[in-house]
Amino acid sequence: MIEIEIRAKFKNLETVREQLKKLNAKYVKTERQADHIFGRAVDLDGEHKIIEGCFIARIREKGDKGSIEFKEIKRTGIGMEFSSPLANLESGLNFLEKLDFERAFTISKVRETYSYQDFELCLDEVEQLGFFIEIEHPCKDDGNKPDALKECQNLLNTLVPGATIEPKKYGDLMQEIINRNNK
């Protein structure tokens, strides 16, 4: 099973919540997440973004639980992902240090999750970046990707008319802010 996902930026959280209520989307949960992003110097381009095909490491904190994740960067497509629970933050930091990963930045967000039909909908309030909606839809195989993507787009148009899809990942958006601030 493949997960198709689109993301769009929006301005008014209450308006989107109202649209979700109108559709009878089911509220699932709200949680704080902190994603501590790590990279290796050899995997960075001139803008300090991870080179396509290389991996970032992430320590994700969700409430009192944590995990360590490695994600292959594929800006258009789906990359490999590996994840494992962490007993504690310190063990994850020590492990990454031994692999030459250095902390780049932290993405902090509050995520509200909803379900609607076969969709998972996440409303993210991301520090420094604003409000985003992520719409995910399962897809049986690559042949169904265009249909699943169209269904995600149609739902986005219903929930946030006129919204523009944000193709960049949160990490790239955060790195752009860091780069602007360092000039």
Q: What percent of the chain stands above pLDDT 70?
A: 97
Tokens of 5: 């996902």
pLDDT confidence of residue 7: 95
Higher local confidence (pLDDT), 125 or 178: 125
Residue 112's alpha-carbon distances to 33, 126, 130, in angstroms, are 11, 12, 14
Per-residue pLDDT of 13-48, as tens digits, reads 999 999 999 999 999 999 999 999 999 999 988 888
pLDDT band at 63 (very low <50, low <70, confident <90, very high): confident
Single-letter amino acid code for the residue at 38: F
CB 166 within 8 A of CB 132: yes
- For residues 102-114, average pLDDT: 94
Q: What percent of the chain stands above pLDDT 90?
A: 60
Domains of the chain: 2-181 (2.40.320.10)
Higher local confidence (pLDDT), 159 or 104: 159
Per-residue pLDDT of 143-163, as tens digits, reads 678 888 899 999 999 999 988
For the chain, the distance separating the N- and C-terminal CA atoms, rounded to the nearest angstrom, is: 43
| Distance separating alpha carbons of residues 86 and 57, to the nearest angstrom | 13
| Distance separating alpha carbons of residues 113 and 124, to the nearest angstrom | 9
Higher local confidence (pLDDT), 144 or 108: 108
Whole-model pTM over 0.75: yes
Query: What strands, in cross-sheet order, belong to the sheet with 81-85?
Result: 2-10, 130-139, 119-126, 102-116, 26-39, 55-62, 65-72, 81-85
